[in-house]
Amino acid sequence: MALIAVLPSTVADQIAAGEVVERPASVVKELVENALDAGATSIDVAAQDGGRVLVRISDDGCGMARDDAVLAIERHATSKIRTAADLVGVASFGFRGEALPAIGSVARLELDTATENGAGTRVRVEGGTLATVSDVARRRGTTVSVSDLFFNVPARLKFLRGARSEWRAVMDVLTTMALTRRDVRFAIAHDGKLLLTLPPAAGLRDRVAALWSVSLADGLVGVDDVSGPIRVHGLVERPADVGTTTRRVFVAVNGRVVRDTGIIRAAEAAYRSTIPAGVRPTLLLEVELPGGDVDVNVHPAKAEVRFRDRWPVERAVERAVRRALGTEDAAVWFGAAPSAATALPYLPRVVDVEVLRAPTYGAGDAPLFRSFSPSDAGAEAIAAPHEAVPPSGQSVERDADGPAGNTVVPPLFQLRRTFLAFERDDGLVLIDQHSAHERVLYERFIGTMERGDAPSQRLLFPLTLHLSPAEADAFEANRDLLTRLGFEAEAFGGTSVLVQATPNPHPRFDAERCLRDSLQALTGDRVASAHARHERLAATVACKAAIKAGDALAPGEMRALYVALAGTTLPAHDVHGRATIVHLSWDELERRFGRR
């Protein structure tokens, strides 16, 4: 007896169905993609019992003539592909030509379709077998009804979950499709009830508002950046909001929704030093690149893609999100946020500021820090070193790498010895002095650890610190990095440490308290990678070294802190995920006082 045999077509179809059709949500995905490929501008989705009993997709696409409708249920039939070369950079969804026959092999399928001027056709398939072909009256478009999924495959049927779980999966699919194709109207019904109608949306933010809430949409930061041939755009969560709401993740590549952990990881990496470890932001991102640089035909359900060179894509994603988090829009807003935020300069080097002494570097073009001119009443221009302040009205030139020239500082005042405040045309701005200084010092410390050029001040009388065993271990583990930050210390018998020099980031700096508190915070630290250890230490020391709430600041100190914060890459966030800047619009204030 022969050991090798050709499978019957019904069995082969069911194997193919296993790759494409896993549950009702798979059916919905395939049929909605077919509708979009047919040019549909309106798609109605209806289901019963979570899709286990019935899934019906109706569209206003181009429809099919009778011969095409009958041929469409045959395996490998497609209108998208003619040669192998067409698989490179394919832009359509349903190019595999397996969805309809695969679904029909494990369910009862009914297809009603008509072209613009042609007669309607109804094709019925049951368990992979063509049952009937007949006339039907309908307008242009196609309706596909799939009932009794897996009725002829009991082993698959028993793995379906309850109606609620299956419907949740269906909604997840429809949500991603609606986010991707914002130009299409979607209507969604379940068990006879219309649940959601989504008209065409002008942009991603409008679609998010319609799907979830206006407050969620307004709270997201816009991303739009180009790196060579790669464009990254979308919406991401403000660091101050991460962890406070349900996390949502959506990634599309060239209009195709995909699962890609590399892109998600790259986007999350952009949040480093802005949110606590363990919390993860909402990310709604779309990546566009030349079709020849991405292979979409690597997964049966087209849920994954392969990049010719992954590194530039992930680097572009991280850069785009990082730049978005450096905009004014990433700060906390109460009231109407600006319609478009201008990004702060993306500085490849850390701004080296003698904080709270005299500013030594100008600020960037951020709206927050560039809303005043020297001619404004009370406004003051602080020049960069060795540069004169230009006369009022003259422009200040800036090079591509970062700011140059002068920073225009608005009149600042201190509230409760904790917040710096100033007004501008669109509202009142508050700056948390500790968080702001922490951000400035963090970026400075990261730079000095990389360069190893931290200035230090030798002590007239060395400090002797008596540490606990755990703190002594933390000192030994971070000794080299502490030296790079400007601490000159050595073991002094047992668990004692002799400190001979310390950094001096500002006149209020308490070196002994900073070092002791930092070692205590680093006790038991198990961060593995060198880069992560650098960031962890820089964040810890910056937090301990920064000025505190309750410290009264002189006017010159407030101005210096303002200038220093303006020169950072992420001024709106401290290293713990808290907001550094809060903006209260005049509209919101007037609303609170009943003026609106």
Residue-by-residue DSSP string for 174-220:
HHHHHHH-TTSEEEEEETTEEEEEE---SSHHHHHHHHT-HHHHHTE
Residues 302 and 210 in one domain: yes
Ramachandran bin of 435, using left for φ above 0, alpha for ψ from -120 to 50, beta for the remaining angles = alpha
253 belongs to a structural domain: yes
Would you say 523 and 474 are in contact if contact means Cβ atoms under 8 Å apart?
yes
Phi, psi at 404, each rounded to 5°: -145, 165
Token reading at 267: 């986007």
Which CATH number is 530's domain given?
A: 3.30.1370.100
| Residue at 126 is within a domain | yes
End-to-end CA distance of the chain: 88
Is 143 a domain residue?
yes
**pLDDT digit string (tens) for the chain, length 596 residues:** 566 756 556 655 655 554 578 899 999 999 999 999 999 999 999 999 999 999 999 999 999 999 999 998 887 666 555 455 555 554 555 433 468 988 999 999 999 999 998 889 999 999 889 999 999 999 999 999 999 999 998 888 988 999 999 999 999 999 999 999 999 999 999 999 999 999 999 999 999 999 999 999 998 999 999 999 999 999 999 998 898 888 999 999 999 899 899 999 999 999 988 888 788 999 999 999 998 888 876 555 556 788 989 999 999 999 999 999 988 788 887 766 554 443 333 222 223 334 444 333 334 334 455 445 555 556 665 543 333 333 333 333 333 333 434 567 899 999 999 999 999 888 899 999 999 999 999 999 998 888 877 778 898 889 999 999 999 998 998 898 899 899 999 888 888 999 999 988 888 888 888 998 888 888 876 665 777 778 888 888 899 889 999 999 999 899 999 999 988 989 998 988 888 999 998 998 999 999 87
List residues bridging with 48 in a β-sheet: 54
Q: Are residues 396 and 409 in the same domain?
A: yes
Name which of 180, 216, 218, 215 is nearest 198 in CA terms: 180
In a domain, residue 332? The reply is: no
CATH code, 58? 3.30.565.10
Cα–Cα distance for residue pair 334/426, rounded to 1 Å: 11
The DSSP bridge partners found for residue 488 are 501
Greatest alpha-carbon pair distance for the chain in Å reads: 99
Do both 281 and 388 map to the same domain?
no
My answer on whether 18 and 146 are in the same domain is: yes
Q: How far apart are CA 109 and CA 276, in angstroms?
A: 50
In this structure, the number of other CB atoms found within 10 A of the CB of residue 349 comes to 12
Label each residue of 367-428 as H, E or C: HHHCCCCCCCCCCEEEECCCCCCCCCCCCCCCCCCCCCCEEEECCCEEECCCEEEEEECCEE
What tokens does 301 get?
Answer: 């359900």
Pairing of strands 54-59, 141-147: antiparallel
The 3-state DSSP class for residue 536 equals: helix
- How far apart CA 185 and CA 429 sit, in angstroms, is 40
The backbone torsions φ and ψ at residue 12, rounded to the nearest 5 degrees and listed phi first, read -60, -40
**What is the C-alpha separation between 180 and 182, in angstroms, rounded?**
6
Same domain, 42 and 115: yes
CATH number of the domain at 555, please.
3.30.1540.20
What is the structure's pLDDT at 270? Answer: 94
Give the single-character DSSP code of 87: G
**Domain final position from 163, 198, 233:** 198
Give residue 577's region: left, alpha or beta (phi > 0; psi -120 to 50): left
Within a domain: 514: yes
- Asked, for residue 331, whether it belongs to a domain, the answer is no
Task: Compute the Cα dihedral for 356, 358, 362, 368 and give only its sign.
Answer: positive
Angstrom distance (rounded) from CA 161 to CA 23: 9
Stated length of the chain: 596
Residue 65 CB burial class (10 angstroms; 0-12, 13-18, ≥19): middle
Res 333: pLDDT: 76
Neighbours of 535 (CB within 10 A): 19
Q: Provide the token pair at 336.
A: 């109407």
| Three-state DSSP state, 433 | helix
Does residue 20 lie in a domain region?
Answer: yes
Is position 427 within any domain? yes
**Token pair 């900073």 in the structure block, residue:** 514
Tell me which residue range forms the domain holding 52. Answer: 9-81+89-198
Domain count, the chain: 4
**Residue 236's CATH number:** 3.30.230.10
**293 and 435 belong to one structural domain:** no
Q: Which two tokens stand for residue 298?
A: 């690597």
What residue type is assigned to position 520 of the chain?
Answer: Q
Encode burial over 94-103: b for 16+ CB neighbours within 10 A, e otherwise. bbbbbbbbbb
pLDDT of residue 454: 76
